[in-house]
Chain A
């Protein structure tokens, strides 16, 4: 009897011993957000590069080619318009994943700016802020060119927001880029944001708004910089050190979920690909044989035409170029009007082509437009270029509503302050 009472009381002691402290369990791969300090800023900055690179998803980088007539569905059903009509729909997941991705990335940038705002404003903190301002401008450029008026967040909020008029968004982008040009670090590697990256983006922003003289100014500033020279496609698109790139995401395989190459390569190629998008037939015929860009830009595998700028297939990922000098030449050439012919021919000569001598302004503009299409194929320019030039309807057969992207349906359902773009 004694024994069993002793044994029982021993276990009863267990019974009433609380384990409630054992209920405090914390993750091994994350830390509480309230513990962030200014010392974590470099880590957050690296995180911003990672999120901005990854969040919008692979198709976002070539979306303007997909809806701009450069690409069609692979294995040939339907022309460019069939693909475009399939994508420009409010319920299309490619639309929402791009929208969601830009805002997810913006959230991290804003968190970084919140963190730097609490630290000491030493030289490096200023630089980090400059980089953050660049990324905000970069994200809003994508948002405003695709959707027009978009919610503008200068700091994070979970409140419902209505769409800010695009003029205000453009002004914000410019002010962000001015901050970036002032504070971002000097150019050292094109895999990091620099003052020159901000200038190159500024040139693009000014051109988009029709501020041609400013566009020329920024483009020429970059062209005349010691850091950059036109370089061969072999280097640019085969991830070799080159002098052409101004800013690109490194997009290494282990750090990235953005695999563009698998969308273009086929299973018949050595490193495979799921072959989702193929170049349209007019893309296949637009390069002269002498054009040094041709074989790197397009190819034919078996009987299947492919885009060849992203060479890793299914096996890996390739760097994603944001700005390179070729674009600066074309911006300068376009914004100067026919007096920019030298810049156009500079580029053509470097790419192995003879000079052109357009008869008139319209001919010059056509020449610039064609060159731009050839130079920047599958780099995410075409649709907005056509929209900018007022050619989207005549060239592609788009309807009026298709000059803007639809606001994703999921977002409209969740935020009744948003109004859909007309027509959708």
Chain B
């Protein structure tokens, strides 16, 4: 139970009592002192020990709190001073010192306890259940968000950033609702689904692109969840903890448990914040002004005419350009599309509690968040009801449900031709959006170089609506003591409407308007039965699990694409004069699984866990359908042995080994030889062979070994966790490129193997400096990825700048290496000289020394994978103040800045130029060895090369918040349990050598393509204020 009105009521009683007995209210009289022990977030602590210590060395008394957290001392003498000391398992001792007992006054004491950093008796959420944290022998990371350290994020994956060792969360795009990249212990797979498996309240969730059509970036499919509803996030990193989710656990498992009510403890929480966001560091994208632009392009044209001996009327002579709007100021395009004052407002209300036989947790959430591009806005409404009910002592029922609705008014992402930020950056400095008569200048023609982003934002209506119901209903039957049968039905139903309407004035509007209207319903049904048996035999704790599950995923889609609308106000396809395309689709897959696990602990010292799972997937042929995933882990609490000499130091060893699998990222019917429909001609239906079939296709699987220890020093004031892991993935699933002469350019295959090895360290500390309390968590992970084998061991080219090559990392950049700039014509090899290369052009390394620069001269020049990464999180409290700040960092990863190509052409075409490139360009021998000359009509200098590869290391001051919780006395008067106000700043500062705005650039979440920056929307800087209120 929470404390507001209850305290008020109690105080009133006490006051009345004292008033009635006021005659005795004098020094030396016996008084009653009542008090409450609560934790940092206001929950009553039942069973806490409270000691009453007289300051004059008299006899001390001991009592404990009841279920409401209340304690009473009756033999207290007025006029004397006492200390009160409360202890509770998992919490640091709390004291109220030197309280003088007053006669005839209200004598109440509130003692607030703060948790120790490492509470060994905490129960942690594990696969299919919970476990005492001390009994865990596998590698997992746990994050329990609270109001102090939470960032204002949309999705649970963003909450994890920098909090846990071995978990790499890399933001995809700064637009609200965009997908993020999450890697647990390195790149687990080559197929696009490198995402971990998310299990929300027991339901494995399939991550899909939240958007249906291509609007330039992937959207997150878990951003519909309300982060405020999350009680804990457990990341299962090693095989032993994850392999019970065998089939889909290769990339790790993220278990998310939502909040639930507590018996007999009612509580109401209200949280709200409001803030503004903008794009920082815009000065990094400084485009050269029009005077200088004209000068540089004409310099390039001069070089061209001179080099080829062209003169007016002779050859392909090119004339000078000039500013068509002399005297007019340059137009600031980025300013015209960015929203400098993007607002975010959020409110959350939750009610929780329960009686002796039931609990409830009900929450409602609202978020209204502007993107940093104009018109971009996300609204999200969430609701949640979690219930448990004891029907009979042996029969329990529970339901966890999440409802959400979101509407995302989108702007084109970085990979769409109309993407506002890049297209704005690429306009010539004198280009402007409107003609003097108010019409738009038309992009892509001579009057305006690139798509007119102002027009694009004004003339399109694009939104993504999502309705989602995620729920789990379970019935638990206690058959015998310790033996529980749990039957559960999980459903995740997700309806998405993806609507893109280009009206008649939009460049993509086909002149009469175009509407692409798509809907999708995803249903995910889980039918699961588990049998749990817990038994204590002497010192042996035994926990057994057996289970069966069947899960089916069905996706149904509809699309209509129409054009020809009478006016922009008509915006449904029923009025379209032409239907360009109409289609519908149904796609299904299913998984059946049997699993079992035994957790044993003896004397709390020796820990053993063994699990086995087998899964059948509809994606593989019957003969190759079933995969088997065993695991074992052991732990030893060495510091609990009698021989252990240091009482204040604890040490636990852990080791694990096991197998996990993956079947995501491939087609639902990849193994089947298929003849597909839809190959129509002249309105006749036609068939074509669409898949040659891969009957031998089977599970990708990973063997992972992990060894680690947990060390606690000085009574856990300092904790240190270290893990080493080695993970080898075999039968990698990949769309293997095949010779076109086979009729197909790729076939889904098991192509090879890969290893990830790494170290993870977490250093925690918690100290008191007087009344200042400081806790901190620093984590760092070193992960090394290597491709071990490929079919035929031939390299596989990926995209324009990547390669899969045995012995190298996945994510290796494979381009020409720039050695410098030719300073004199006589340095240029003849073969290049003949194609027009001269002094001032880039020297590419001639790897095979054949005198020409061609595709054979590409080499691996960098990697998108960091050498190490992590975060540092701090929390400092002083009286009612709390200060939290965190950093995230990444070191050693490279970024391919492909956005720079178009703005470093230096007159090669009519694109504008980055100011700093212009200033450091080659203009004669010795002027530059990095930036080439200005030369018209040549693309030689802008080929994919290390010229665009940059160091992507960074340290980001991720979050700073300062909060103040009103004093207990005051909030009691206000009938509250807690009131905290805070200000918070996200993304305050960024240290990086990367030349773009933001080094977190994973606009493509496929590990093979990561690290490419097409100028994705950078992470916004958000400044906000909020309050947390508890009744």
Contact = CB atoms under 8 A, between A and B. Distances in A.
Interface string A262-303: 000011111110110000000000000000000000000111
Given A18-B592, A103-B743, A27 B442 contact: no
Contact of B445 (A100, A103, A151, A268): A268
B529 A11 contact: yes
A314 B510 contact: yes
A100 B687 contact: no
A234 interface: no
Given A15-B529, A191-B682, A304-B445, A409 B855 contact: yes
Contacts of B676: 27, 29-30
Given A23-B616, A107-B742, A313-B510, A50 B686 contact: yes
B737 A27 contact: no
A4 B937 contact: no
A75 B478 contact: no
A4 B590 contact: no
A252 interface: yes
B39 to A, nearest CB: 36
A21 to B, nearest CB: 10
Contact of B797 (A5, A78, A409): A409
B992 to A, nearest CB: 31
Interface in A138-189: 151, 153, 156-158, 160-161
Nearest to A157: B742
Contacts of B582: 254
Q: Which of A27, A35, A53 lies at the interface centre, i.e. has the most chain B CB atoms within 10 A of its CB?
A: A27
Interface size class of A (residues with CB under 8 A): 35 or more
B681 A33 contact: no
Given A4-B395, A22-B550, A23-B592, A30 B686 contact: no
Nearest to B905: A77
B913 to A, nearest CB: 14
Interface stretch (A40-48, A220-228, A378-386): A40-48
B592 A20 contact: yes
B673 interface: yes
A370 interface: no
B916 interface: no
A29 B442 contact: no
A77 B739 contact: no
Interface in A28-58: 28-36, 40, 43-51, 53
Interface stretch (A59-67, A237-245, A411-419): A411-419
Interface string B666-679: 00110011111111
Interface string A299-318: 00111100000000111100
A138 B681 CA distance: 18
B693 A33 contact: yes
Nearest to A111: B689
A152 to B, nearest CB: 10
Nearest to B579: A254
A302 B446 CA distance: 8
A271 B510 contact: yes
A302 B447 contact: yes
Given A75-B910, A267-B443, A53 B477 contact: no
A82 interface: yes
A400 B502 CA distance: 47
A12 B485 contact: yes
A233 interface: no
B58 interface: no
Interface stretch (A83-91, A119-127, A351-359): A83-91
Q: Which of B395, B741, B795 lies at the interface centre, i.e. has the most chain A CB atoms within 10 A of its CB?
A: B741
A77 B909 contact: yes
A49 B854 CA distance: 37
Given A20-B616, A75-B444, A104-B740, A4 B684 contact: no
Interface of A: 3-5, 7-8, 11-12, 14-16, 18-20, 22-36, 40, 43-51, 53, 75-79, 82, 85-86, 89-91, 96, 99-100, 103-104, 106-108, 110-111, 151, 153, 156-158, 160-161, 191-192, 250, 252-255, 266-272, 274-275, 301-304, 313-316, 408-411, 413-415, 424
Given A15-B548, A158-B743, A272-B509, 11 more contacts: A4-B392, A8-B477, A11-B475, A30-B676, A31-B675, A43-B685, A53-B681, A107-B689, A107-B742, A303-B446, A413-B795
Interface of B: 316, 392, 394-395, 417, 442-447, 449, 475, 477-479, 485, 487, 507-512, 527, 529, 531, 547-548, 550, 552, 563, 578-582, 585-592, 616-618, 622, 625, 668-669, 672-693, 737-745, 794-797, 800, 835, 854-855, 908-910, 936-939
